[in-house]
């Protein structure tokens, strides 16, 4: 039986284990979306993961969702990321950048721009801004002729990611951000070729992937999906049909992987496994839900055919998570109050397991 500690071939990479560090927003970037030395130390501490997928990185200013997040659309941002990729590689690790366009989940106080989306429909609830939570604004609906430019922004950021030393990129197609908004049936009310039936709602995701593959190659390109997920007020109709059609279209690209969250019934995800011929990464628990991924849930999904298992919050307080999973050591809890507050406390201050005599 496949275990978490078996090797796995991922594109041009040989992963020493099947543990993936999931992307997690930590809002520690400097002004102008620059990565920092603390971020380099943070990821280097966790380089024993088979693969690290770094936090969401905006591909453009209008694509920025939250304050304090890094970007990959200027030369200075590329330069700031090189110490991170160098540090991870020096520690024997592999790292992808997650390209995350926030779409309507943004605010003019964060970017100075009106957010854009598939339709002029605001998300319910508040978004994060430099002065605290504020109601999500109504986005500007993209004209049909503008949509390809937003799809290409993922590819342009991917080129910069490779220039910065990343081993590849993951397109964030989950959790209510721009790709997810196009997939949805409530944020996307379009009547052109990007809206309505499933074949149209998947078009933006496919175009973003195609552009990225053309830019950096299929072996360096993955995508994250949240089938049936409701984060940031999205809803999806025809979930089984949607997540049969999308992987079928993506299969022609021979991507590095598809990364799915456990946001739908198990049979939907198992069906996606049957329909996806390449590497499948599974995050076995609901993101930000009451449970964290553990060895039991990981083994369950390996048994159902997942190739790699992603762990999110468990990596925050356990830089040595792979060794703890391997040896059955306790998983330390993280302080939720320091998830996003900035600074090194709750970021670089969690130690490896301390053995006692």
Just list the catalytic residues: 177
Counting Cα atoms < 13 Å in the Cβ hemisphere of 307 gives 20
Assess contact for 298 and 4: CB atoms under 8 A: yes
Assess contact for 102 and 64: CB atoms under 8 A: yes
Place of tokens 């552009």: 211
User: Strand runs (DSSP E) across the chain, as ranges?
Assistant: 8-10, 13-15, 19-21, 51-57, 95-99, 116-117, 126-127, 134-135, 140-141, 168-173, 221-225, 257-261, 280-283, 308-311
Q: What is the dihedral of CA 203, 217, 115, 184, to 10 degrees?
A: 30
Q: What is the chain's length?
A: 357
Measured distance CA(118)–CA(142) in Å, rounded: 6
């Amino acid at each position: 039986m496949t275990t978490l500690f078996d090797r796995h071939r991922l594109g041009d990479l040989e992963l020493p284990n099947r543990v993936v560090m999931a992307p997690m927003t930590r809002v520690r970037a400097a002004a102008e979306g620059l990565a920092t030395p603390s971020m380099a130390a943070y990821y280097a501490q966790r380089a024993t993961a088979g693969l690290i997928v770094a936090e969401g990185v905006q591909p453009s200013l209008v694509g920025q969702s939250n304050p304090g997040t890094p970007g990959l659309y200027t030369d200075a941002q590329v330069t700031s990321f090189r110490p991170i990729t160098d540090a991870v590689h020096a520690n024997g690790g592999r790292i992808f950048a997650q390209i995350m366009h926030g779409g309507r989940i943004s605010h003019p106080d964060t970017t100075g721009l009106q957010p854009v989306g598939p339709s002029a429909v605001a998300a319910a609830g508040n978004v994060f801004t430099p002065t605290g939570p504020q109601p999500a604004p109504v986005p500007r609906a993209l004209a049909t002729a503008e949509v390809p430019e937003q799809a290409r922004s993922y590819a342009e950021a991917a080129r910069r990611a490779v220039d910065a030393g990343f081993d590849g990129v993951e397109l964030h197609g989950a959790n209510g951000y721009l790709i997810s908004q196009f997939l949805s049936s409530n944020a996307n009310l379009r009547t052109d070729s990007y809206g309505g039936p499933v074949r149209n709602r998947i078009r933006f995701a496919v175009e973003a992937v195609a552009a990225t593959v053309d830019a950096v190659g299929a072996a360096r390109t993955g995508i994250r999906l949240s089938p049936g997920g409701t984060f940031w007020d999205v809803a999806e109709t025809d979930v089984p049909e949607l997540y049969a059609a999308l992987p079928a279209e993506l299969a022609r690209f021979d991507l590095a992987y598809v990364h799915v969250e456990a946001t739908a019934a198990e049979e939907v995800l198992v069906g996606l496994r049957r329909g996806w011929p390449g590497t499948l990464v599974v995050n076995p628990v609901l993101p930000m839900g009451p449970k964290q991924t553990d060895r039991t849930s990981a083994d369950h999904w390996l048994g159902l055919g997942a190739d790699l298992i992603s762990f999110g919050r468990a990596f925050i307080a356990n830089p040595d998570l792979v060794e703890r999973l391997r040896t059955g050591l306790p998983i330390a809890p993280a302080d939720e109050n320091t998830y996003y507050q900035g600074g090194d406390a709750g970021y670089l201050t969690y130690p490896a397991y301390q053995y006692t005599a």
